[in-house]
Structure 1
Amino acid sequence: MSAFSDAEREAVYRAIFERRDCRRFLPDPLPGDLIARLLSAAHHAPSVGFMQPWNFLLIRSIEVRAQVKAAFEHANAIANAQFHGERGELYRSLKLEGIMESPLNVCVTCDRSRHGPVVLGKTSQSEMDLYSTVCAIQNLWLAARAEGVGVGWVSIVEIEDLRQILALPTEVVPVAYLCLGRVVEFPASPELQRLGWLNRVELEPLVYEDRWGRPSSLFTENPLDADDPSGTKTAP
């Protein structure tokens, strides 16, 4: 099949560059057909050995989400104590979850026992099932952006707390706890960048060639346009 048209290619890059980690949600419920499309996009992610190790646990119950919120508060108190001075003040000002506000929570899990003890692609690197699950999460996130749906990843929660609250089997690992919902806007830049927590790292120093630490000539020969890193703009 040929490459996408210019408009199609630009839309793909737009979803990538405009994806945001969202924390503030509108209460409007998400239609079932929309949720099904997002899950289908996630389910079509690449997976090593075509193992497809993921499951998607939809969490609508206020009671269950309240338990997850309490687990977040406990983990966040521990995290909060590790940041001091101005950094600590900034940390405490951040909104780091939307568990109760979002109309839908989704826990994306990895079944590490799927397909048995010997799985193509895991014989040398056993973590490939976890990495494959992250690909499904990224697919969901990009599809959500294209649909105008915000996604927030809540990582400040202990895995064992999620196991207990969600009654996960021993072999199932919770990889991502996500909040989904409509948002007022998708900001032009990530919130942590806007608030001065961290800046985006430049790409060029991160790219090596043939061996670690050897700079690549890629960007001296093909400089990136800071205003159009995807290279999708066309002449007016």
Structure 2
Amino acid sequence: MRFNKKDLFTLQNIIASRRDIRGNNFINKKISNKKLKIILESALNAPSVGYSQPWEFIIVDEEKKDLVYNHFNKSFEKSKTKFLDKPLYNSLKLEGIKESAINIAVYYKKSSSNILGQTYMKRTGEYSVVCAILNMWLTARVLNIGMGWVSILKPKKVNKIFDIDKNEYKFIAYLCFGYTKEFYSEPELKKLKWNKKRKLKDCLFK
């Protein structure tokens, strides 16, 4: 299969339009099983070291969602002490656990045997899972479904909630999916002047 300039333009548009969606932007609308399957299957097409495909997904039920939400609130309160120089932090809505239609916990499945390409860089398996997550994020965006990545969580606590053995799996991400009021024209933290966007020339080693 070969692609053309129109395909490139579409892809660039999708990538540039990806946003991290939080609870103040999700709306009460269900995601169909068909669209959820499309999002999950896009993850399966991600590159993985040694074709190991080390990803595992948990579709979170309401009871577990409540437990994760309670843990997030405690973690968020503790994290405020790290941003005393940025008062804006206290007013940020940094998750959409309760407001989103679907929550998915993503894990890296450890291997007991040697993995091609992972002999010296052990964490490439985890990086493969992150590639799968990005596929999900971009696919959701094409379906006009928002995704938020909740990272103010302690893996040990999340493992306990889902009764996961840390010797077999490693927690990578907690994702929230749902339809939104809107997709901002630019990242929310950029709009709020939390940080500036880096230019390509600033990201190249000199």
Normalising to structure 2: TM-score of the pair? 0.95
The residue type paired with residue 84 of structure 2 is H
The residue type paired with residue 157 of structure 1 is L
Aligned to 2:4: 5
Counterpart CA distance in 2 for 1:42 and 1:56 is: 10
Equivalent residue of 2:176, what SS? strand
**Which entry has the higher C-alpha Rg, 1 or 2?**
1
Aligned to 2:55: 54
Matched, 1:197 2:194: yes
Counterpart CA distance in 1 for 2:80 and 2:103 is: 24
Which structure exhibits the higher relative contact order, with contacts defined as CA atoms closer than 8 Å and separated by 6 or more residues?
Answer: 2
Counterpart CA distance in 2 for 1:109 and 1:14 is: 29
Aligned to 1:68: 68
Q: Gaps spanning 5+ residues in structure 2: where?
A: none
The residue type paired with residue 17 of structure 2 is E
Once the two structures are superposed, the pairs formed by residues 206-221 of structure 1 within 5 Å of their partners are: 206-208=203-205, 214=206
Matched, 1:132 2:132: no
CA RMSD, Structure 1 to Structure 2 (Å)? 1.0
Equivalent residue of 1:81, what SS? helix
Counterpart CA distance in 1 for 2:189 and 2:88 is: 10
Equivalent residue of 1:44, what SS? coil
Shift of 1:147: 0.6
Once the two structures are superposed, the pairs formed by residues 1-236 of structure 1 within 5 Å of their partners are: 1-2=1-2, 4-23=3-22, 24-59=25-60, 61-85=61-85, 87=86, 89-113=87-111, 116-170=112-166, 171-208=168-205, 214=206
Q: Gaps spanning 5+ residues in structure 1: where?
A: 209-213, 215-236
Shift of 1:99: 0.2
Equivalent residue of 1:77, what SS? helix
The residue type paired with residue 99 of structure 2 is E
Shift of 1:135: 0.2
Aligned to 1:233: none
Shift of 1:74: 1.2
Shift of 1:117: 2.6
Counterpart CA distance in 2 for 1:172 and 1:74 is: 24
Shift of 1:62: 2.0
- Percent identity reads 35
Shift of 1:7: 2.2
Deviations 1:137-173 (A, max 9, x none): 0000001111101000000010011100011122211
Aligned to 1:223: none
Runs of 4+ aligned structure 1 residues displaced above 4 Å come to none
Counterpart CA distance in 1 for 2:72 and 2:42 is: 28
Equivalent residue of 2:83, what SS? coil
Shift of 1:84: 1.2
Equivalent residue of 2:82, what SS? coil
The number of residue pairs the alignment matches comes to 203
Counterpart CA distance in 2 for 1:52 and 1:133 is: 8
Higher mean Cα deviation, 32-41 or 117-126?
Answer: 117-126
Shift of 1:64: 1.0
Equivalent residue of 2:160, what SS? helix
